Amino acid sequence: MTRQPKITFIGAGSTVFMKNIIGDALQRPALKDASIALMDINPERLAESEIVAGKLARTLGSKSKITTHLNQREALDGADFVVVAFQIGGYKPATVTDFEIPKKYGLRQTIADTLGVGGIMRGLRTVPHLWSICEDMMQVCPDAILLQYVNPMAINTWAIAEKYPQIKQVGLCHSVQGTAGELARDLDIPYEEIRYRSAGINHMAFFLKFEHRQKDGSYRDLYPDLVRGYREGRFPKPSSWNPRCPNKVRYEMLTRLGYFVTESSEHFAEYTPYFIKEGREDLIEKFGIPLDEYPVRCVEQIAKWKDQAAEYRKADEIKVEQSKEYASSIMNSVWTGEPSVIYGNIRNNGCITSLPDNCAAEVPCLVDASGIQPTYIGDLPPQLTALIRTNINVQELTVAALVHENREHLYHAAMMDPHTAAELDLDQIWSMVDDLLVAHDDFLPDWARLTQQVKSA
Q: Where are the domains of the chain?
A: 6-90+110-171, 387-444
- What is residue 307's predicted lDDT score, i.e. its pLDDT? 84
Closest Cα to residue 238, out of 227, 248, 253, 223? 248
What contacts 116, CB < 8 A, 6 or more positions away?
A: 102, 109, 270, 271, 394, 414, 417, 419, 420
* Lowest model confidence (mean pLDDT) among 57-66, 317-326, 329-338: 317-326
HSE-CB for 369 with a 13 A CA cutoff = 3
Task: Give the model's pLDDT for residue 154.
Answer: 98
∠ Cα 229 234 237 (to 5°): 115
Give catalytic residues, as residue numbers: 174
State pTM to two decimals.
Answer: 0.97
Tell me how far apart the alpha carbons of residues 117 and 120 are, in angstroms, rounded to a whole number: 5
Which residues define the annotated binding site for substrate?
151
Q: What is the pLDDT of residue 455?
A: 55
Which residues make Cβ contacts (< 8 Å) with residue 21, sequence separation at least 6?
A: 9, 83, 85, 323, 325, 327, 328
Query: What are 97-156's pLDDT values in tens digits?
Result: 999 999 999 999 999 999 999 999 999 999 999 999 999 999 999 999 999 999 999 999
HEC string of 309-348?
Answer: HHHHHHCCCCCCCCCCCCHHHHHHHHHHCCCEEEEEEEEC
The tens digit of pLDDT for each residue in 178-224 reads 999 999 999 999 999 999 999 999 999 999 999 999 999 999 999 99
**DSSP category for residue 366:** E
Task: Show binding-site residues.
Answer: 151, 173, 203
**For residue 271, pLDDT beyond 60:** yes
Angle between helices 248-257 and 382-404 (to 10 degrees): 120
End-to-end, the C-alpha distance of the chain in Å comes to 63
Q: Is 280 helix (H, G, I), strand (E, B) or coil?
A: coil
Q: At what angle do helices 293-314 and 96-104 cross, to 10 degrees?
A: 170
**pLDDT tens digits, 379-432:** 999 999 999 999 999 999 999 999 999 999 999 999 999 999 999 999 999 999
CATH class of 6-90+110-171: alpha beta
Which among 117, 120, 148, 119 has a CA at the least distance from the CA of 132? 148
Other CB atoms within 10 Å distance of the CB of residue 132 = 13
